Amino acid sequence: MSVPRKINLVQAATHTIKHVWQPHIAGDINDSQVKIAKFGEVFDWHAHANEDEGFLVLQGRIAIDFRDGVVELGEGEFLVVPKAVEHRPRALTHEPIVLMVEPSTTINTGTATSSTRTVTELNRL
């Protein structure tokens, strides 16, 4: 086995990710993936029927809207959105960087599809 490669996630996102809402794979852990994305103004309402989704803000601030309220997250704050719960992430600062942990089969738009937002082929950092 070769020595694993470390990644500075904020630097990698800053220099590699060119567009908001384009998640990149930072690593694989068993059947899950760690993904990094820059968030934009507002994402689509969606749910993941069979997958929980974890969000950790690395830089900036975001909000995750729910049909019955909103949760704001700042740097270092973490939230798990349970499976089947409809939600809509959005940026509160310019292009915040967010780490997501979810099963490798998770599609970013969940049960919704979007010609401009659904990403099925993710790049790696």
In a domain, 57, yes or no: yes
pTM value is 0.90
| Residue 109 confidence (pLDDT) | 66
In a domain, 112, yes or no: yes
Find the CATH number of the domain harbouring 58.
2.60.120.10
In a domain, 2, yes or no: no
In a domain, 1, yes or no: no
29-46 pLDDT per residue, tens: 999 999 999 999 999 999
Q: What angle do CA 61, 36, 34 make, to 5 degrees?
A: 120
Q: State the virtual CA torsion across 94, 12, 7, 118 in degrees, nearest 10.
A: 80
Is the pLDDT at 101 greater than 80? The verdict is yes
Residues 15-41 have a mean pLDDT of 95
Whole domain around residue 29: which residue ranges?
Answer: 9-124
More confident residue, 21 or 123: 21
Give how far Cα 50 sits from Cα of 87, 92, 110, 111, Å: 14, 28, 9, 10
- Band of the pLDDT at 111, cuts 50, 70, 90? low
In a domain, 53, yes or no: yes
